[in-house]
Structure 1
């Protein structure tokens, strides 16, 4: 048995472009992604730079609070009445717009219709709900709630 080497047919001068096409696509994708990330970083920097006391924000970890003080590296947030937390500026995710301004128009902008002012709102009564009596719902015979479960333990100790 004799093996014969047969030369491959070449496609001519276009082979250089075919080899460069995937490289050009990869470089283009990397450039586009870095450009998008740069825009996001700039937006984040603008948001942090515009923080003022009284602004309502959400941190990247999901904490919602009102800005009390802004330092060089930290922001002090009030997350509840009298509870202050200090977070890094980079942890500020986004600013929550004031709901009062966005949802209701200003008093000067509202147009009152005299026909609407004459009507009084009608109160709708909801039907009274009957208490549901569930037998053996964790109560003992004397009516007190039991602390322990009647189920067997899920594991044993050795």
Structure 2
């Protein structure tokens, strides 16, 4: 039996083919580190802008009003008279004031629309819950039921 040596066919451009995945990996790492750097900067700006009276939400979901800020800690009032001290890094975001939001939307209303609105007595207003009957598709949705507030023994 005789073995013959057959030359292997080359695909051409072997160096570029090997370099392309390496370039892609380096590009992905650079992009991810850039994104993380922007997020850290945004978090640092949020923490630096904390002032007493600001409403904030922590990363764990705790909502409170800033009472005092320190170098490392923020004191939050989570309920009337209940103060909690958290690390500044735990502040997730600052909640915008509802008063400022209401004023912005009030300024955007047209004067013609404001003239059409008539003043009504607060005693004649009736608060009716939305039952979902005015949906565009005509289907009625059930209102969600709350869980029981106590258990009977």
Shared fold by TM > 0.5?
yes
2:101 corresponds to 1:102: yes
Deviation at 1:101, TM superposition (A): 1.2
Q: Deviations over 1:48-93 (max 9, x none)?
A: 0000000000000000000000000000000000000000000000
Measured on the aligned residues, the alpha-carbon RMSD in Å equals 2.8
Identify, as 1 or 2, the structure richer in helix: 2
Q: Deviations over 1:96-149 (max 9, x none)?
A: 0011211344888874845533555754487xxxxxxxxxxxxxxxxxx961xx
Cα separation, 2, equivalents of 1:10 and 1:98:
68
Q: Deviations over 1:31-55 (max 9, x none)?
A: 0000000000000000000000000
Cα separation, 1, equivalents of 2:35 and 2:107:
42
**Structure of higher CA gyration radius:** 1
Counterparts in 2 of 1:40 and 1:4: CA distance versus 1, 3 Å: same
SS at match of 2:78: strand
TM superposition score normalised by structure 1: 0.69
Aligned residues: 128
SS at match of 1:117: coil
In structure 1, runs of 5+ residues without a counterpart are 127-144, 148-158
2:11 corresponds to 1:11: yes
In structure 2, runs of 5+ residues without a counterpart are 129-150
2:67 corresponds to 1:68: yes
Counterparts in 2 of 1:31 and 1:81: CA distance versus 1, 3 Å: same
TM superposition score normalised by structure 2: 0.71
